Amino acid sequence: MAMTSFPDTLPRNRLLAEISLWSADLLNLERDMARIAPYADVLHIDVADARFTPGFLFFPDLVARIAEAAQAPVHVHLMTQGDIVVAQARQFAEAGADLVTVHAETGQEGLAALDMLAARGTAAGVALTLEQPLEALEPFLSKVAIVTLMGTRIGIKGAGLDPEACLRIRQLRSRLDARGLGHVLIAADGGIRETTVPDLRAAGADTVVMGSLAFGAEDLPARFDWLRGLGAQLA
C-alpha cells in the first residue's frame, strides 16, 4: 500500500495497533493478514540479518508481496548494522515499504539512509535497543516520523517488558516536546501484553507493536475492542 502522506494519515487520538507479521503463521501469511486487516493501523515487518540480532527475518521479495496485499501502511524495522544499511533501506523502500526504520546504532550510515529515504519520499524512522542511552537518538530525531523503543532484548519473542521501558518512553516524549518535535510518534516494541499496554500508553506510546498479543488472541474482535477502548480512555 503506497501512501504518500503516511504517517499523517494515522489517527492521533487513540493508541495505534501496529501488528508484527513475524508472529503470524508464516505458512498462512495471506490468511493471517486478512484476519488482522480490520484492526491493523500499521503492519510491522522485522528485518534481520543474524548479526545485530540472533536470527534472520524477512527479505525484500517477500515484503514486496506483502506490500501488494497490505490494507495498511507497511513499516519495515531494519534490525541491521554496518555499511550496507543504506542499500538495505533502499531495497525495502523499493519493495513498497511505506516507512523504513533504521537503528540509531548504525550512526552515520543510518543518517545517510534517512537522507536517501527523504530524497525518494519514503517516510523514515529510528529505533533504539534497550541497552543504548536515549542520547544516541539525538542526531536522528529531526529526520524521522517515528521512534521505536525496544522494551525487550532485540530479535527475540516472548520476553517480558523491561522495568525501564516506560520511563524511557516518558523521557523520550519530554525530549521530543522540548525540541518542538511533538508530532514524532513513539512506538513501543517488545513485551506488549495486556498487563503492560496501559502503562506504555500512559507513558506516552502512540503505537504498540503487537506480536502474540494480536495473533495469539482467541477472540480477535474483543482484543481490539479492549485496545481501542484503552486508547480512547487515556488519550
Ligand X SMILES: O=C(CO)[C@@H](O)[C@H](O)COP(=O)(O)O
Name residue, grid cell 539525538: 138
User: How are beta strands 16-20 and 207-210 bridged, if at all?
Assistant: parallel
Residue nearest to ligand X (CB): 211
Secondary structure (3-state) at 207:
strand
Output the smallest distance, CB 23 to ligand X, in A.
5
**120 φ/ψ angles, rounded to the nearest 5 degrees:** -95, 0
Looking at the Cβ atoms of 159 and 167, the one nearer to ligand X is 159
- CA–CA distance, 22 with 226 (Å, rounded to integer): 22
Q: Which of residues 31-60 bind ligand X (CB under 6 A)?
A: 46
Strands 42-49 and 56-57: antiparallel
Q: Binding to ligand X by residue 19, rule CB under 6 A?
A: no
Query: Binding of ligand X at residue 18 (CB under 6 A)?
Result: no
The residues in 100-159 that bind ligand X, with binding defined as CB under 6 A, are 152, 154-158
- What is the distance of C-alpha 205 from the center of its chain? 11
- Does 23 interact with ligand X (rule: CB under 6 A)? yes
Residues from 185 through 214 that contact ligand X (CB under 6 A):
189-190, 192, 209, 211-213
Sites of contact with ligand X (CB under 6 A): 20, 22-23, 46, 152, 154-158, 189-190, 192, 209, 211-213
